[in-house]
Amino acid sequence: MGDDSHSWTAAPAAAERARSVLAAAWSCSVTAEGTREELVGAHSVDEDGRVLVDVPEDSALLAAAICAPRGEPSAVLEFADVAPVPVRNRIRARLWLAGWFAVEGGRLAFTPTRVVLRQPSGSVVVDLAEFAAAVPDPLTTAEARLLTHLADCHADAVERLTRLVDSDSLHGAVRVQPLAVDRHGLTLRIERVRAHGDVRLAFHAPADDVAQLTERMHVLLGQAAASCPRALQRQRTDGDG
């Protein structure tokens, strides 16, 4: 399956996107001293982007933190941003934090020394000062609920929004799903028989809460209503998945 390349307008900055991935993640993978552990529901995040991890006393991570020289990179944390709506290639982004652990108050505090964000558009090294100063998108914690509701209860609205998409991007489309939403806009995943592409619908102004998001969505739907209808292709060939 291939991917189409589309320009993203009014998109979050890399540091904001990285902090949003970090804020939304429920699990992470930790590699330290040759060991790898999968942690679920065991971490939280400080305002400055430090990751606080609760681990059992016999954890290899705890031993690695105690033995490693302070301040030297000793671990890598990996977070995956998974689309809440079932689509092809559900991993929307991956975030890697390299840095070191310190024992604080019975848990591990991870200070990043390198932050790498990988999105479909490519990988970028996030400036540490910008990462520490950034805040997650205000819709981060509500995004999964908002997108699943849109996909499950308002499929007609999603299809109506395709009137705002360039006709070339809709060529051969068999399904359109909401992929992501943030304060800057809504992203649609356009699936074809053996390929897919993403299209960004930017809001006319940032949305800082769900009420403002509702207004922004109504504006997009109003713009779509004033546009010419574009029927999606519904034929599917044998072997389409």
Tens digit of each residue's pLDDT (9 = 90 or more) over 147-202: 999 999 999 999 999 999 988 888 888 899 999 999 999 999 999 888 888 999 99
Q: What angle do CA 103, 38, 33 make, to 5 degrees?
A: 55
How is residue 183 written in tokens? 């304060």
pLDDT of residue 86: 93
pLDDT of residue 121: 86
Residue listed under structure tokens 């305002």: 47
Instruction: Report the predicted TM-score, pTM, of the whole model to 2 decimal places.
Output: 0.85
Q: Which residue type, as a one-letter code, is found at position 45? A: V
pLDDT of residue 204: 92
Kindly list the averaged pLDDT for each block of 10 residues, start to end, along the chain of length 241: 45 93 94 87 93 87 77 84 93 95 88 95 96 96 96 94 87 90 95 88 94 96 81 43 35
Interacting residues of 103 by C-beta distance below 8 A, sequence separation 6+: 62, 65, 66, 109
CB distance 219 to 201 below 8 Å:
no
pLDDT of residue 72: 66
